[in-house]
Amino acid sequence: MDTGFDPLTIRADFPVLAREVNGRPLVYLDNAASSQKPQVVLEAVAAFYRHHYAAVRRGVYTLSEEATAAYEEARDKVAAFINAPDRRSIVFTRNTTEAINLVAHTWGRANVGPGDRILVTEMEHHSNLLPWMLLCQEVGAELVYLPITDGGRLELPQLERLLDGPVRLVAVTHVSNVLGTVNPVQAIVAQAHAAGALVLVDAAQSVPHMPVDVGVLGCDFMAFSGHKMCGPTGCGVLYGRVELLEHMPPFLVGGGMIERVGFTGVSWASLPEKFEAGTPAIAEAVGLGAAVDYLERVGMEAIHAHEKALTAYAMESLAALPGVRLIGPPAEERSGVIAFTVASIHPHDLAYALDRQGIAIRAGLHCAQPLHERLGLAATARVSFYLYNTREEVERLVSAVWNAQRWLAG
């Protein structure tokens, strides 16, 4: 499939991709964990520190005003990137994990009680499972699971039955970080809303890789991480409907998130400052804004099509190797994530053998231990693609797996 996309041109924007690992050109295939950074992002962060750095908000001197403008401009860029209707709906957090915990601690403790239910799926990352598990344990609510099929798809016919009860929230991943499954979030949201439940979407594996429009999805909350989308670490995003965020208590309290404090009381700042206590990750947000600019110049549709083509090619090539088992749905139903096993080789051993050949992959449980348990897997190897990966890198991967089979399996 010709996507009209030139990853070789893209690769020149990423300095780390020019290095060698163990005497071989680096092949970076761990993008579901974290992405590499283009030069424009590195330069944006460096330039901010060199020329504009100061604490944001309330400063009446030039540097503080410049830093505040850059920080808030990044918020505007993120809002436009996901088509959020109101910039106040964008809260900067450290990452997806913190964003989901914020909702669980604030909205959850104010709205979920004994006898209520939280519905999650069997394919969730721990970040979209453990906050709800702990909330249910604390308040006496019930955590229920939407099952998956052996092929890695949600058992959607069971959703209506599971929503028939006091379900307050559905927490669902847009794209599985193990299976690559792209879930029909828009349909799930519509069904949940009809049953009176809110929906939180873990978009950590979708926002960096495909066009995502919160208006089209209709979700109430959405969380994603800047470091997975060419931005710096330490800056993530919570999107929330303004009418919900306005009625939620703050997550952390301290400086920067108050309107007034007296000896006997406090009033909170307006959105989104209410949820951004302390000095925020200013330079990291500026870097995320630069990453958004970069991704928009490349084009999210083009990135998604490129990854889909790579995924189909990689799945076909890996499946042709003896002893390789691909986990999850066919290529046309997934994003650029492939989990697999190789007979007689532990995934950790495979990852080490591939690293000796300059290829970086992930091995283990990928923060999705219940999913592996459901599928009867002790661990998996995982490759994940991004805009800078190439067909030639897929071919190097397949050759390296074949070599590892000869070395390790005998």
Active site residues: 367
Distance CA 96, CA 30 (A): 17
Distance CA 128, CA 100 (A): 7
Nearby residues of 387 by Cβ (< 8 Å), 6 or more positions away:
5, 7, 10, 298, 303, 306, 307
The alpha carbons of the chain give a radius of gyration, in whole angstroms, of 22
Nearby residues of 123 by Cβ (< 8 Å), 6 or more positions away:
148, 152, 154, 173, 176, 178, 179, 181, 368, 371
Check whether the bond before 85 is cis (ω within 30° of 0).
no
Query: Angle 209-96-266 (CA atoms, 0-180°, nearest 5)?
Result: 140
The number of residues making up the chain comes to 410
Distance CA 69, CA 279 (A): 15
